[in-house]
Structure 1
């Protein structure tokens, strides 16, 4: 898919980030949203072919709202500067996140600041067999693709129930367990972007499966 029409819409939206402009350009918005949903449906089918545990997520179910949540973030603009969606979106687990934006686009996955119960489940899994997760993170191709865990808030000391000399203390201190890789706007408009997305999905899959097993078993 060529995302140029989508990018053009987002650029204009950011210059006129208000409900009046959106209402006047509702037809254009519906056009680019429908195109994005159609592309998500294609990727949903392709990913299901390569992953026998894939959770069917049609585009309409995976796509996120373009409105920012002003109740919790009153200082943000009315509308986002990107289109986002989650694929392989099994309830209660970490999905495969796709974001197409003006300046950059991103493919990500895992769990962003999970609730205390799921965070404890992840830490219990790391306590049990954290070497498996560390092996995934240390894989050369994984590090090349993602660098490492997404940098976010970390505890200064060991979480409750764990010691500071735990062999996987550097993992246990994390509050977010996610990875991401970014693409330029030009890259998303090339014909091979779908193939790149599939390659990233495959590389991320063992990481996501480890986390999702931790929060569901």
Structure 2
């Protein structure tokens, strides 16, 4: 994957259409590598989480083109490549597995990132009903070693509809139930990259199962 890192590094300092058009072949080759990697990962995930099914990698890999309509940043291209593997592909509202390749900022992870309001309420309801089960999943030694922290975007007060005196109210304040684990550039370009990704995703799979069960139960 070193070629992908090299392309993205150069794109970061040449984020314009003229340079991109001149290097379109390199982009297409990089995208093919990410698609192939995603296909391998899908196959491996199915061994421990068959619920995701046989996804088409093209439905999981994100476009490199930025939506600049409502952004003050008008640079046209993302400086990363990634894929979200879940039932329904990258547009899924359920929990899944995310791969992010960016020079100096690569990571793996997943869960439910910024779910829509109804899904978020379902997740909070399930955690409210089964707080110990969820805590045991995210606080196990192996999980905390791989994913030290949950994505920290929280409400300042208890979410509407839940009692403020609930002992685990802090768990219900999260707006996402997502986790990340950093990966170095040397890991991305190394021979053990796929194995590291799969190990991280396998560790995440019980949490994803809890989250997806909640969404299926309450929606």
**TM-score category, normalised to shorter length:** over 0.9
Q: Match for residue 164 of structure 1?
A: 164
SS in 2 for 1:13: helix
Q: Match for residue 62 of structure 1?
A: 60
Q: Match for residue 191 of structure 2?
A: 191
Structure 2 runs not aligned, ≥5 long: none
Instruction: Give the direction of change, closer, same or farther, for the CA distance of 1:143–1:76 in structure 2 (3 Å limit).
Output: farther
Given that 1:7 and 1:102 are in contact with CA atoms closer than 8 Å, whether structure 2 keeps it comes out as yes
Compare 103-112 and 41-50 and name the one that shifted more: 41-50
Instruction: Give the direction of change, closer, same or farther, for the CA distance of 1:76–1:146 in structure 2 (3 Å limit).
Output: farther
1:49 Cα deviation from its structure 2 partner: 2.5
RMSD of aligned residue pairs (Cα, Å): 1.4
Length-normalised TM-score, structure 1: 0.93
Given that 1:84 and 1:98 are in contact with CA atoms closer than 8 Å, whether structure 2 keeps it comes out as yes
- Work out the CA distance in 2 between the residues paired with 1:160 and 1:27: 51
Q: Match for residue 53 of structure 1?
A: 51
Query: Residue by residue, what CA displacement relative to the aligned partner does 1:44-85 show, whole Å, maximum 9, x if unpaired?
Result: 112223333233222211110111221232315221111111
Query: Residue by residue, what CA displacement relative to the aligned partner does 1:93-133 show, whole Å, maximum 9, x if unpaired?
Result: 12201011111211111112211111111111112112111
- Work out the CA distance in 1 between the residues paired with 2:107 and 2:177: 16
Q: Match for residue 32 of structure 2?
A: 34
- Work out the CA distance in 2 between the residues paired with 1:190 and 1:209: 30
Compare 49-58 and 198-207 and name the one that shifted more: 49-58
1:84 to 82, 85, 96: 82
- Work out the CA distance in 2 between the residues paired with 1:124 and 1:209: 15
- Work out the CA distance in 2 between the residues paired with 1:112 and 1:38: 24
Given that 2:106 and 2:185 are in contact with CA atoms closer than 8 Å, whether structure 1 keeps it comes out as yes
Given that 1:89 and 1:96 are in contact with CA atoms closer than 8 Å, whether structure 2 keeps it comes out as no
